[in-house]
A and B are shown apart, each in its own frame.
Chain A
Amino acid sequence: MFKRLKPAATLLFYLVQGCFSYSPAATADADIPPSYQWGRGFSWPAANLNLGGYFNASYQQPESLKNKTTLDELSLFITWSPHQRVRFFSEVEVSDWLSTEGIDTLNNAIRAERLYVDLLATESTTLRLGKFLTPVGRWNITHAAPLIWTTTRPLVTERRLFTSHASGLMLSQRIDIGDHNLEASVYADDSTDLDVLDNELGFENAIGGRLTFDITEQLQIGASFIDYKNKSITRKTRNDLFGLDLLWKKDGYEIEMESIYRTADDNQGEEKGLYIQGVAPLSGHFFAIGRYEYVNGTHRFIPTNTDIGVTGLAWRPFTPLVIKAEYLFGDQNQFVAPSGFFTSISMFF
């Protein structure tokens, strides 16, 4: 594992060191002592360093499949700013390591989810180099279990549709339009050469962009595009994926929607789909969640025309902790998202 991590770490080290001379942290940061806060990690202001992470464990009882209890994710974040204009971030994750089906080797289970350096070119322009979350829709970029409301993931956001990570560079620009923020990102992936910590579902290469716009304090809309080629597909043709998303939040209520359209020339065919999810606060830090999904087309090479519903509860007794339980049901969903009961506990630490 360490052998696999070393080239990426070395690359980032030289990149940072080569581009910028070292500049010490602002002096008075030293006045604030290192501290730990539950859900915000360990902070060492004098070194501009923060360590944190999260875990997620689930119990899944899908109909017609084996029940399973799993430690799905144990993630560690490291954020370090060695210079005013440089920010290094890594997320190393142990994934599906322990489960009632067995114990995987650490070498198989551990991987770098994210490993990048941000170069802050101006106050509103950032260049990101390394491995980062593919900016398609909202779910993928905020997919940490303590942030999301359900144990199951909508089909239009899942990793087999587009891989959740890209390795390459991304340029982001924030534009203030009156009282509104518009954020534009373009990125290029070359996972074949750059993702030394690759996973089998990775891109071969990709190019894409994303726009998000804050219409009001409560409402944000987004649009995504990606043109990509996957590594794992035998017949490697290019796919184009278009997405639109929306998030509205007010007083604990939330509506989230994502829709996609994917097309390819060969047997990967095309597919379209969406989900819409609503959240309503109940008493005692409980929340009710309802979600509807629709997918039509060739999903994971399977002709699919399915409607899926999810109904569940989430309990957030403290900000960093969430316990979820849900029932998933649907029509013609047995191959892509089997009906069943799913529950999980997750926490930022």
Chain B
Amino acid sequence: MPVRLSKLLLIMALSLPSVSADEILIITRPETALKDLSIKRLENIFLRKTLLNSSGTRWIPLNLSPEHPLRQAFSLSLFNKRPEAMESYWNEQYFQGITPPYVVASEEAMLRFVTSTPGAIGYILPCHLDARVQVVFKLVTSTPVEQQCSQHDR
């Protein structure tokens, strides 16, 4: 009986879809005073609907290039859309004089920009976190991103 039960449990475990809950870290300069960063507020910052933070500093959201796996995961987790599906939104914003977030070349470039720029906000993998920045939000993603730690130079 115990053998049959363990087999049953093994079959159940193998038949379950693999569930991954990796995290993407949202980062700012350590000096940035930030309270209650909800996911909706984060969305508004990266959609550039919110242009100022609560202390009156201009938000400067940053992105990686649209094809970067971390950007894809970030976009799917925050907007439920791939970066290319956001283009019609940015077309409309362009007509209102609002341009998309700046694009930086790598996570290291994002870290450097965030460190040196008041109001900058970006995202990195947990394995690339260091003391130069503070984590203000952990964005849960169902896209497996941790594997990027070994595959990509930050």
Residues of A in contact with B (beta carbons under 8 Å apart): 26-29, 31-32, 39-41, 43, 45, 50, 52, 54, 77, 79, 81, 84-85, 87, 89, 120, 122-124, 142, 144, 146-147, 174, 176, 178-179, 181, 217, 319-320, 348
Interface of A is mostly: mixed
Asked if B117 and A348 sit within 8 Å, CB to CB, the answer is no
Asked if B118 and A32 sit within 8 Å, CB to CB, the answer is no
Q: Does B116 contact A (CB under 8 A)?
A: yes
Quick one: closest B residue to A251, CB to CB?
A: B85
Beyond known contacts A77-B94, A181-B40: 20 more, CB 8 A cutoff:
A26-B58, A28-B117, A29-B117, A31-B113, A40-B90, A40-B94, A45-B102, A54-B95, A77-B95, A79-B97, A79-B99, A87-B51, A89-B96, A120-B52, A123-B50, A123-B54, A174-B44, A176-B40, A176-B44, A178-B40
Whether A40 contacts B52 in the complex (CB less than 8 A), given A52-B94, A144-B95, A146-B91, comes out as no
| Cα–Cα, bound, A258→B21 (Å) | 42
Chain B nearest CB from A11 CB (Å) reads 19
Q: Which of A27, A178, A320 contacts B91 (CB 8 A)?
A: A320
Q: Which of A28, A79, A174 contacts B49 (CB 8 A)?
A: A174
Chain A nearest CB from B82 CB (Å) reads 12
Q: Does B17 contact A (CB under 8 A)?
A: no
Asked if B58 and A39 sit within 8 Å, CB to CB, the answer is no
| Cα–Cα, bound, A50→B80 (Å) | 28
Q: Does B60 contact A (CB under 8 A)?
A: yes
Size of the chain B interface, CB-CB below 8 angstroms: 37
Q: Does B57 contact A (CB under 8 A)?
A: yes
Jot down 11 A-B pairs with beta carbons below 8 A, ordered by A.
A26-B118, A39-B94, A41-B94, A84-B57, A84-B58, A89-B96, A120-B51, A122-B54, A142-B95, A147-B95, A176-B40
Number of A-B contacts (CB under 8 A): 90
Asked if A85 and B49 sit within 8 Å, CB to CB, the answer is no
Q: Does B142 contact A (CB under 8 A)?
A: no
Q: With a CB–CB cut-off of 8 A, which chain B residues contact A176?
A: 38, 40-41, 44
Q: With a CB–CB cut-off of 8 A, which chain B residues contact A52?
A: 94
Q: Does B2 contact A (CB under 8 A)?
A: no
Asked if A89 and B97 sit within 8 Å, CB to CB, the answer is yes
Quick one: closest B residue to A142, CB to CB?
A: B92
| Cα–Cα, bound, A215→B60 (Å) | 27
| Cα–Cα, bound, A84→B116 (Å) | 17
Q: Which of B40, B52, B87, B119 contacts A26 (CB 8 A)?
A: B119
What are the 6 closest A-B residue pairs judged by CB atoms, nearest first? A28-B117, A79-B97, A89-B97, A28-B116, A84-B58, A319-B87
Asked if B52 and A348 sit within 8 Å, CB to CB, the answer is no
Q: Does B53 contact A (CB under 8 A)?
A: yes
Asked if A123 and B97 sit within 8 Å, CB to CB, the answer is no
In the complex, which residues 31-70 of chain B have their Cβ closer than 8 Å to any Cβ of chain A?
A: 38-41, 44, 49-54, 56-58, 60
Give per-residue flags for B112-148: 1 if the beta carbon is below 8 A from chain A beta carbons, else 0. 1100111110000000000000000000000000000
Chain B nearest CB from A86 CB (Å) reads 10
Chain B nearest CB from A8 CB (Å) reads 17
| Cα–Cα, bound, A30→B69 (Å) | 27
| Cα–Cα, bound, A290→B49 (Å) | 31
Q: With a CB–CB cut-off of 8 A, which chain B residues contact A142?
A: 92, 95
Q: With a CB–CB cut-off of 8 A, which chain A residues contact B30?
A: none
Asked if B53 and A123 sit within 8 Å, CB to CB, the answer is yes
Chain B nearest CB from A22 CB (Å) reads 14
Asked if B97 and A40 sit within 8 Å, CB to CB, the answer is no
| Cα–Cα, bound, A79→B51 (Å) | 14
Asked if B40 and A348 sit within 8 Å, CB to CB, the answer is no
Asked if B40 and A40 sit within 8 Å, CB to CB, the answer is no
